[in-house]
Every structure is written in structure tokens, then in C-alpha cells.
Structure 1
């Protein structure tokens, strides 16, 4: 009698708890409970389920999927009747008869729980609430997920109250559809849309009875009924669901027996779902995809927000250009060549945007180093630790023009050997200027027959060293180093001597200081004259953007990979990018372009240009570092700017040895690599194909103000 009385009291408490009467001393408790339910209801309404974000090329063709939960939403009319009835038959046969709570089953389960046994009996509406809390609201929060699943009367009461509220706000069809979109299947597949594709390679509207029965059966325990790890259990469970459909009069008994003989029909290797990150973009497009993610994170978007948003990110990538860049980079250097990277970055000039068109490398984007793969964004990041070499003479020339030192047609001195009167820190061949201090001195390339003077244009074409160190002395290291930042090397100049964020606690100045600090003027020091020879780490993408700035009349814009971002509802998501800046006068930029227009006609890149029959106006500048350890070619037409770099991504002493078209090796001695070889061949090999059929445009004319300056200062 006491047990019976206790159960009756419990039943009364359950009903009272669900109805929450506000009477007497129970009023405060009831109000608090009601507030909790309202807050949970608000969470259900305000926290949308994670969806897959799609990254596309410029034309909207998908290249990658980014997600935390693989979920593809499906509307009610996009889900087969077989799937709906399979789920109802196994989980809530009286779904269309109750109003959110099956009172008989709930009381039975609560009484069973109070006596030490756990029992289910939740309706689909209640399960929708629980699964939404677990898979959406408390996703990634183990404590919240445990609370949403705890075996307690209090949790059942809250769940029941929310279910009743939902039934007043949503139709049965909406609840069933919501449930089918939020539940988890095995192998971290969420929702019937993703399950249909991953398990059967179809869409949810085409799911047949056996497929629907398998999916409906898995939901109860996705791990236990996993069709790949436990096919026998999955088959038995599927067949049990078919029996339930017969009991619910949704399937004929003879059809059920026939369908039980069918195989599971899932892919043998596991669910067919895309990679959840940029590896899914493939070896060719992965570098661009990763740059997109990195760019968005730099602009305030968290990786979690990107991965759950269900966005469509249309990028600026031209797949054809990216492919040609990849082919050319890999043609020159094998992808598996140890410690040799060959990259090509392409940017479209413009006065309102600088869109990134391609980011390619000889290496593939991926997780297997033995197969020539890497996850480092080699074409975009500050990964060329060897430096860009004489390509940095661009900045010296631009600063010299801005400071009135020389115009492009002015003669500049080009001695074979130069001892600086300004800079110190030279090697043993340089004269001592004070105790323990040697002057900085520089020679031109051995074997080169340079005249003792030449025009600045000719110096940019043939690249002797001494004229540019002399111009650094005359212009001052401050303007020269600042010019590199202005024209585009923003991240590069902020990095230290190994391409990373400066470490204020490091003892070595090259690690403690940024490049801008290290090479620029300091207390009692005019700066470092070796800057014009580009000895420190550099970003290929930023060097490409330097060329784009020159071709844009001196307008710098951030190199952006984003064309447009739309949310799951099609609404545009704004991204606050840095504004474009007129960093040098248009006349200076145009004159510098004319000054750089001869490299492919008689300068260091001539052979590479002739090999492909290049006949377009362009700007160009090669660069090679000490011991031939890395090399660069900067080039641009009015329509497209780009930089090719070959370097040692793992660093180390020694050079790069050129073995003819098709491969380069990292050698332990001074190498035979030059900017006019592999980098120029990579640039021209790709650009010839990319520019094919496009209009031949002329370079802008030079400004007389920057043609001749001698005697004007």
C-alpha cells in the first residue's frame, strides 16, 4: 500500500510539474522552472544547427567543404515518405495523436526511473528537443550534453514542457523535419540529407524503404548500430524497423520479408563524405582554400564560425589560372624533391581591389610529406626564408626616384667594387673603419661585364649590385625600407629573420626585431645596406602584390581572396578589409614600370621569355640570394601580376643546383640557381597559357618628372 501510495504521489507531481501551477509557496519554484524552460526554448529558436560552409572558385564552382558537423538541410518535401514513416514507426508510433508528450509512456518511464530502472518513452518532439540541445546548443560542451541526457525527473519535466510549447508553435511536419535534420547518424554524419548522400550516394527524397529503415534504426545508438563496424547489428536493427513499419500498417508483411534479404548497400570503405577542411580542396586548390581561411581569421572570423555557418564563400580564384600555375611549378621542380619548393602567386592589379587569382606550388597541399604534400601555405606565407634576392632592388629604385636621387633614364655609377661610406658590417674583404668594425662593401656578380655607369632602367634590367647600394646611401635606408612596406610587404616587414613574429625575449637581434626595425635606421646606425639584396624571409604573395601595386598606378590594396560571402539564408556577410591606399605618386609608379620593362628583352629573364615566344609588354625583375640558395622572378602585365620563387622550405646551409628543366636539388655547396632560370621559367610557362587570347595592353607612359632627376635636388 505504501508503494502504491508513493507512485500515486509521484504521478501527481509529474502532472503538476508539467503544468507548473503557480499557487501558494510553490509559486517561486514554478516561476523559476518556467523561466528555465523559456530560456531553453529561446536557445532552440536562436541557435541554428551547424551547416557545411562551401568554398567556391570565382565562378561559383565548389572546391571545398568546411564543417564541424556534416549536415545538409532538407525541407519536408525533400524527404521521402518512406524515411518519415520508418522514423515514426520505430521512435513514436502515436506521433500524430499526441500534443508533444505521450502521458502514458512518460508516467511509466518516470515511475520506472524512480525505482532504479531507466526507461525511454520520449516522443519525437521530446527527442527533437534533446537532440537539439546535444547536437546544436551544447555542441562541444560535454557538461551541457551530459545535462541534456541526465536520467532525472527534473530533466524529463523540462523536456516535456518545451515539447508542449513546440507543438503550439510548430506543425507536426515541421517538428518531424526538424528532427530528421538535427539527429546524428553513425560516423559523425548529421541529418538525413547528409546521411542519404554519405550512406547511399543519393538525396533524401529518393531514399527507399530499406535505406530508410537502416537510417531510422541507427539513430537509437549510432555507435552500436554502425553499419561498417557492426554490420550484423545494423542488419538486425534495420529488419526490426521493417517489422515496426508492418505493425504501423506502412508496409506489407510480404514486402518486409523480401526487403530483409537485401544487403545494407552502404559504401564498403565508410561513409562517403568530403574532408572537413581544406584538404578536401585537393592538392591543387588547397593552398588557395587555406589562404581563404587564414584571411578570414585575420579579419575577425573565428574558425568555428566559419565551420558551422553554412556559408557560401565565393573566392577570387581562377581555377584555370591556378591549374596552369600548378602545372608550370611542377614542370620545373618535382613535387617530391627534398627541401625544394617552387611557388607561383598571381594577383590582379586594380585601383579598388587586388584580387588573388592563383596560389600554386610544385608540392601538393595535403597531409603526406612522403608524397610531396604540405599544409604550409607556401605560396602565400612568409616561408621563403632564403629571401627574394635582387628583386628588392625594386624598392631601392622606387625610393631613389621618390627622394630625387635618380630618374629611370639617369646614369647611375656601377663600379665593380664599392666600399660604403655609410654602412658598416662587411666581411673580411672590406676595410676596417674603426676598431672591430669593417665597412660594408659589395661587388657585382663575378664574370659580369658591366660598364662603370648605366641608366637606372639598364641597372634594373641587368641587376648589378653596386648601383643599388650607392642609391641606398643617397636615398637613406629609412625611405628604402619604408618603400618595401608601402608597395606591399606588410607581413614580410613585420616578421623577423626567420619569418616569424619577433620574439622580444630573444638575444639575437635578427630574432628579436622585425625586418623593418632591423634594416631601417637605428640609434647611431643608418641601417643595413644589404637590404637591397633581399637576404631575409619574404612572402611570395606579397611580392606579387608589390608588382600589382606598381601596375595599379601606385595604389596598394590588400591581396584579397574573397569575392563574396553569403550566409545560409543568402544574405551577404560583410567583411571589413583594409582600404586601398595611394602609396606613391601615379607618375612614379608608371615610370618605375617603364624602368622595369626591359628585363625580358635583353636582361636576366631574356632566355626564359624567348623560350615561350613571349611578346607582350610587361615588367620584370629577377633575384638571387647568397650561395644561390633561393631565387625569384617578379613579373606583371597590365592585367595580371605574379611572382615565382624557388627556395628551401626547411632552410639549411647550401644552395640550389639547377639540373635543367624538370628539377632542382638542394645542394650543400654554392648552387647554380638564378632568378632568370627556374623562377622565370615557371612564371613564363604559366603566364603564356593564362594570357592566351587576352587583349595585349601597353604599359602606362612614364612621367617626365621621374625620367631624369640629376641636378634637380
Structure 2
């Protein structure tokens, strides 16, 4: 039926018409007896008079789409998680067992196919009962109940505050009757029955007969037998009180009452009745969990990231509350970029490398992005997405920035060094050129070139006398080639490279590659030279995207999780498209840099175990509480991180995955996890040769 401006009408005006027609005394008398309409409207010709009166009342029922669950799907359409305020799966009437149809009509409205929306005989029966007994009996038809549920649905979707359920006033009941009569003129009986069975509450947040059938019996509504149908039909009277899982005796008693009405209405035979009444209630509880905690394939954290993206996007509503309501009720289908094959392997590998049962403070994370699109193909960690107490339970997403559910990030360590080398190459130098890595102290006031800073420099300014730089490997404070310093991750070589280049040129490159702080999303600042050695906290997703710029030969793509969103009505929502800058970094410089990064990945990390081109860099932070390896093939980039996510306590001496580490390096912890994961998944995508114009052996000084 067509929508109108409002689902409600002026009840005061309507009540005034009724009072004027029947007289105040008659109406008040009827109300005192628990009636909704006077006796003159309940039978024969008088019933027609009542219908004529109702015809003069406004008929305005604003129908909204049913509140439907939203699903988050992987790229292949597999459902990762479901969100709902009401668990409902609409089906057509021919997909509902005839037994179920007979049961609901028999117990709720046996004259459903005879009345015009308001049942005069039912009203008369209720009047007599309410006048002569201490019990109260209602007379709402299925059509009236459908109207009431439509109004409730409208209220929920539009966040209104109305009286459409519970204790109804006279105007409420009159409105319900009027709208029922109007609906009977616009819809067929089968359409009304179908609508009712799809909208009505059965228990908790389970709405509609299909969802109820799946929840209680793990079967489709089309397959419901006689006792199952009677059980569900009986529940609509009091959904929670008659839940067979909580109150089996009350549920069985009500079921048997429904069976008796079915027998009286010739919907079942005496034999079928006796057999059904004698049967025990047998359920197969199969709930559909709502939210990210039940996401499949360890995708709870990715699901959480997607949810946060939806709630932050004005395309889905004017504010966060409206967007959450749409997510819970709008029947959205959110197709994501996640590759379920990669996700499963990543989740398994993260937990295998760092078993969550071993500790409640050591985390492991793997995130894979695709170079040419920024599409996130996997996002996993070793913990369980849960707010419950217990080792390995957390809702903190290690892979993302603070605003997307992560923490303050982790120090990048030596994973930042390739971008220093790129600035060196961009100044016209070569990876084979030498720097003075013997210098290990820069006094306060030492000027590092920084063209974008006041005076064209950044001055060292520490709490002590200056900045002391040390190396993890002994006897490395000497002159050396830049490629050699990068291969062995020599801090003094990196700082010397930056001192001979320009800090602003370096941060220009890190900004172009999307590197920003995890806590405030600000780009790295040339004001603090310590950023050169990875002192700033970043997220694995940020670093994976930055390294994908190297893997692509200079194209930076914004990380992207959502590919397409449609709602239950088929409407499409605007989502961020693939956003890439094809000239973010210099491709020729990357080709030369690849020579060193390929050697690191192949010789120090994979140890020759991977037969296609890989490149990347290790990293360990100052406190030895975080280790990294970030590496790429020609199409995929993966950041691997293992560290203490609760504090900066060192991993030295800790047992991780059955191995006790006396030394902590990215090549010893995060690197092997990267190899174990990528060796299983990388060849599902292109693994072409990475451009390499470098010369010489970076292992040799």
C-alpha cells in the first residue's frame, strides 16, 4: 500500500468524533468493561455501521522496510559476521509450512479469512467475557496485530517514542482498528498473513517465522511439522515466557492449546492431534550471533575495523547513532576486500607463531594489502576478539591506528630506514656511496639539514649533552656503503645518511607513502631526528601500505576494506573508491633500493626458501618489546609484527612458540612468521620479478 505522510493521526480529534457519535456515557461504560468499541458495533448490521464510522477516520499507515540483519561479507561473498537488532529472514508464504499457517490462524484469528480487519464476533465474545468474568480477553485480529507490528517497526527504524505496544489507550486501539480495515482493502489475506509471519516477535531478538525456525529447530520454515508449528504459533502470545528453552513446561502447555484449536478448526485430524500432543518438545538451538565476536576465520578485528568505518562515514547517516541503527536494522550487505583464503592462513599462523594461551601480553599481527588497489586482503592477530576476561582475549586491534580501534601503535624501529635511503637516492647519490658511520654522537645544537624548518635546519636538542647513537652489532662504527649499512641495519649509518641529506626530504617521502603516527594520525615531523630510527609509534596497516608503495614501484594506495554496500531495498551506498597516487615515490630510486631489500628478505629472512622475488626490511624497537618484518612481492605486501602490546617490557628471555629468545630481532621472531605465512599464500597472486637496478653485494662493505 502507498505510504503517506505520517503513521499517526490526531487521536484527540478521532476520539472526539467517537464520543460525539455514541455519547460520553456509552463510551465510558464500554471502557469500564474493558472494551475498545461500544456494543452497537459488534454484530450484524451494526457491525457495518461501525465499519462506516471507522471509514470516516484517517487511515495512515507508514510502512517502512522490515528491520533486517546486516551482513559483512568477504570478497567471495562468504558471510563473516552479522549485525542485527532483530534477527529476521523474510520469506514468501509458499516458503512457510502450511502447518505453521494453520496453527497461527487457528490460535490467533480463526475467522481471519472471513472478517474485514476487525472481527465483530470476536469483539462480542470478548465483551461478554470481560463483563461476566474476572479475566480479560482480547479480540485483536491478525490484521490488527500486523498493523501494531508495522507501527513498532516504524518506531524502531525512525527512533520515535510512541505507544504502539503494551497497554493501549482507546485512541491507540481505534487507530489500530482503522488501519486494519484500510489494509484489508489494499492487501490480500495471503499478503497480510505473509507480512505478519515475517514481522512478529517469537523470542528475544528473533523475529519472523524463518529466523525462529532456524533458531529453535535448525530448519527452514517450509519444513516445520505439526508440533513444531504449534509450538512457534503459541509463542507469539508471550515470546519470552513461552520460550521452550527456558520454560519447557509452559511452552508445551501452550503448544497443546494451539493443537487443540487446530483440531477444532479441522486443520489436523484426531490422530494427528493425539500424536502431536504426546510428542516431547525437541529443539536444536542454532542462534545467529550478532556482532564481530562471532566473526569467522579469525576476522573479528577486521569486522571491527569495517564497523568503525561505517559508523564514521556520513554516507550511512547524519550521526553515529543513525549509522548504527542502519547497520542493525537496514539489511546492509557489506562486501569487503578480505580474501578468506589468506585470512584463514594469517589467523592460523599468528596463533601458531605466538600461541595466545602462552601469555596475555605478547601479541602477533599479520596484515596484507594489495599493491595496485590498497585492498586489505588479510588482517589477523593471535588474540581472540572478545571483551571477556581470559588470556589472549582483547578487542584491541593491533593492526590499525587508535581511531579505528587500535592503541597508540608500536615503534617502527628499523623498518623506517628504507625511506631514509630513498631520500639519499633522491638527492642524486647511489646505494654504493659511502657515509661516515663512525660518528655516534651529535651534540646539542648540531644542525641537521631540513629545508622546511626555520633556518633550514633541525637542531639537536636533548635533555642531556646531545644525541648518542649506538648499534646492535659491535664493531660497525666505521665508514661503509649505504647499502651495507641498510642490509645490516646499522643505526650510525642511517643517521649519517640523513645528516648528509635532508630531514624534510625524508619526511616528504614518508608522508607520500602514507606513514603517520598511530595515536593522532599526524605525519612524521622533521622536528625530531629520532624518527629516523623508528622512534615514532605506527600501526602495521600504515607500514604495510607504505611498503606497498615500494612493491608497486612508487604508487601509494589508501588502505581499503569496503568494496560495496547495498541495503535490503537494493539501494547502493557510496563507499571510498580505490584511491591511488601513481607518482608518490620515484620508481627508479625504488628499483635501486630493491637490490638491498631483496637481499635482506631472501638471504636474512627466507634463507632462500622462497623461489620468487621478495623484498623487505626487519625492525626492532629501542626497548626490544616490538619486532617487525615488512615485505612484499610484486602484488602483495604483508606487515608482520610480534611484540608486547601491554607495555614496553622486553621480549628478551621470553618463551614464544616454544622458543626462548636470548636475543630479540625482527629476523628471529616476526621474520619467520612472515615467511611461514607468505610461502602459503603469495603465489595465489602474481609474483613477478621486482625491478632491480642495484649493483654489488650489500653484504660486503
Structure 2 counterpart of 1:55, from 52, 72, 80: 72
Q: Map 1:483-498; keep pairs closer than 5 Å.
A: 483-489=509-515, 492-493=516-517, 495=518
TM-score normalised over the length of structure 1 = 0.82
- Give the whole-Å Cα distance in 2 for the aligned partners of 1:638 and 1:165: 65
- Give the whole-Å Cα distance in 2 for the aligned partners of 1:384 and 1:680: 23
Shift of 1:448: 4.8
Alignment partner, residue 671 of structure 2: 680
Structure 2 counterpart of 1:304, from 317, 325, 347: 325
Alignment partner, residue 700 of structure 1: 691
Question: Does 1:348 find its partner at 2:348?
Answer: no
Alignment partner, residue 3 of structure 2: none
Structure 2 counterpart of 1:608, from 605, 622, 629: 605
Q: Map 1:476-625; keep pairs closer than 5 Å.
A: 476-489=502-515, 492-493=516-517, 495=518, 499=519, 501=520, 516=523, 520-521=525-526, 527-577=527-577, 579-582=579-582, 584-585=584-585, 588-599=586-597, 601=599, 603=600, 606-610=603-607, 613-625=609-621
Alignment partner, residue 509 of structure 1: none
Please list the CA deviations of residues 626-681 of structure 1 after superposition, one character each: whole Å capped at 9, or x if unmatched. 1312111110000210110112111144444464764568xxxxx72111111111
Please list the CA deviations of residues 71-107 of structure 1 after superposition, one character each: whole Å capped at 9, or x if unmatched. 1111111111110010000000111111111134346
Question: Does 1:129 find its partner at 2:147?
Answer: yes
Judge conservation of contact 1:386–1:630 (CA < 8 Å) in 2. yes
Structure 2 counterpart of 1:470, from 496, 519, 522: 496
Structure 1 counterpart of 2:253, from 236, 255, 259: 236
Judge conservation of contact 1:283–1:365 (CA < 8 Å) in 2. no
Assess, with a 3 A threshold, how the Cα gap between structure 1 residues 119 and 415 changes in structure 2: closer, same or farther: same
Deviates more, 1:459-468 or 1:243-252: 459-468
Assess, with a 3 A threshold, how the Cα gap between structure 1 residues 397 and 18 changes in structure 2: closer, same or farther: farther
Alignment partner, residue 707 of structure 1: none
Secondary structure, in 3 states, of the residue corresponding to 1:628?
A: coil
Deviates more, 1:88-97 or 1:277-286: 277-286
Alignment partner, residue 386 of structure 2: 366
Question: Does 1:206 find its partner at 2:231?
Answer: no
- Give the whole-Å Cα distance in 2 for the aligned partners of 1:459 and 1:139: 61
Alignment partner, residue 467 of structure 2: 440
Judge conservation of contact 2:71–2:334 (CA < 8 Å) in 1. yes
Alignment partner, residue 422 of structure 1: 447
- Give the whole-Å Cα distance in 2 for the aligned partners of 1:412 and 1:672: 28
Assess, with a 3 A threshold, how the Cα gap between structure 1 residues 118 and 436 changes in structure 2: closer, same or farther: same
Judge conservation of contact 1:624–1:630 (CA < 8 Å) in 2. yes
Structure 1 counterpart of 2:191, from 168, 174, 178: 174
- Give the whole-Å Cα distance in 2 for the aligned partners of 1:374 and 1:593: 41
Please list the CA deviations of residues 168-223 of structure 1 after superposition, one character each: whole Å capped at 9, or x if unmatched. 21111111001000111123211001011011110011111110000000000012
Judge conservation of contact 2:157–2:325 (CA < 8 Å) in 1. no
Assess, with a 3 A threshold, how the Cα gap between structure 1 residues 327 and 21 changes in structure 2: closer, same or farther: closer
Judge conservation of contact 1:340–1:664 (CA < 8 Å) in 2. no
Secondary structure, in 3 states, of the residue corresponding to 2:295?
A: helix
Q: Tell me which of the two structures has the higher relative contact order, counting C-alpha pairs closer than 8 angstroms and 6 or more residues apart.
A: 1
Question: Does 1:328 find its partner at 2:370?
Answer: no
- Structure 2 segments unaligned to the other structure (5+ residues): 1-23, 31-36, 317-322, 450-458, 696-701
Assess, with a 3 A threshold, how the Cα gap between structure 1 residues 590 and 647 changes in structure 2: closer, same or farther: farther
Assess, with a 3 A threshold, how the Cα gap between structure 1 residues 3 and 385 changes in structure 2: closer, same or farther: closer
Please list the CA deviations of residues 15-70 of structure 1 after superposition, one character each: whole Å capped at 9, or x if unmatched. 88864589xxxxxxx7xx62xx42xx12x2xx211112222222222222221111
- Give the whole-Å Cα distance in 1 for the aligned partners of 2:674 and 2:408: 17
Please list the CA deviations of residues 561-619 of structure 1 after superposition, one character each: whole Å capped at 9, or x if unmatched. 2233333245543313473224524xx24532541443453x48734311x71232222
Shift of 1:536: 2.9
CA RMSD of aligned residues (A): 3.3
Shift of 1:295: 2.5
Q: Map 1:126-275; keep pairs closer than 5 Å.
A: 126-138=144-156, 143-144=161-162, 146-267=163-284, 271-275=285-289
Shift of 1:373: 2.4
- Give the whole-Å Cα distance in 1 for the aligned partners of 2:504 and 2:363: 32
Judge conservation of contact 2:338–2:378 (CA < 8 Å) in 1. yes
Shift of 1:147: 4.1
Q: Map 1:288-299; keep pairs closer than 5 Å.
A: 288-299=302-313
- Give the whole-Å Cα distance in 2 for the aligned partners of 1:106 and 1:291: 54
* Number of aligned positions between the proteins: 638
- Give the whole-Å Cα distance in 2 for the aligned partners of 1:319 and 1:579: 23
Alignment partner, residue 628 of structure 2: 632
Judge conservation of contact 2:514–2:542 (CA < 8 Å) in 1. yes
Judge conservation of contact 1:342–1:645 (CA < 8 Å) in 2. yes
Assess, with a 3 A threshold, how the Cα gap between structure 1 residues 391 and 479 changes in structure 2: closer, same or farther: same
Q: Map 1:387-398; keep pairs closer than 5 Å.
A: 387-398=411-422
Deviates more, 1:330-339 or 1:412-421: 412-421
Judge conservation of contact 1:551–1:636 (CA < 8 Å) in 2. yes
Assess, with a 3 A threshold, how the Cα gap between structure 1 residues 622 and 448 changes in structure 2: closer, same or farther: farther
Structure 2 counterpart of 1:380, from 400, 403, 406: 400
- Structure 1 segments unaligned to the other structure (5+ residues): 23-29, 425-431, 502-513, 522-526, 666-670, 705-713
Assess, with a 3 A threshold, how the Cα gap between structure 1 residues 630 and 367 changes in structure 2: closer, same or farther: same
Deviates more, 1:300-309 or 1:108-117: 108-117
Assess, with a 3 A threshold, how the Cα gap between structure 1 residues 3 and 433 changes in structure 2: closer, same or farther: closer
- Give the whole-Å Cα distance in 1 for the aligned partners of 2:213 and 2:195: 16
Question: Does 1:73 find its partner at 2:90?
Answer: yes
Shift of 1:532: 1.4
Judge conservation of contact 2:627–2:665 (CA < 8 Å) in 1. yes
Alignment partner, residue 510 of structure 1: none
Assess, with a 3 A threshold, how the Cα gap between structure 1 residues 275 and 660 changes in structure 2: closer, same or farther: closer
Shift of 1:320: 1.9
- Give the whole-Å Cα distance in 1 for the aligned partners of 2:486 and 2:413: 13
Assess, with a 3 A threshold, how the Cα gap between structure 1 residues 605 and 339 changes in structure 2: closer, same or farther: farther
Judge conservation of contact 2:417–2:533 (CA < 8 Å) in 1. yes
Assess, with a 3 A threshold, how the Cα gap between structure 1 residues 547 and 4 changes in structure 2: closer, same or farther: closer
Please list the CA deviations of residues 386-430 of structure 1 after superposition, one character each: whole Å capped at 9, or x if unmatched. 41201111332333444x263434333322524262269xxxxxx
Judge conservation of contact 1:624–1:674 (CA < 8 Å) in 2. yes
TM-score normalised over the length of structure 2 = 0.83
Structure 1 counterpart of 2:290, from 276, 295, 298: 276
Judge conservation of contact 2:633–2:682 (CA < 8 Å) in 1. no
- Give the whole-Å Cα distance in 1 for the aligned partners of 2:462 and 2:201: 75
- Give the whole-Å Cα distance in 1 for the aligned partners of 2:131 and 2:279: 42
Judge conservation of contact 1:630–1:656 (CA < 8 Å) in 2. no
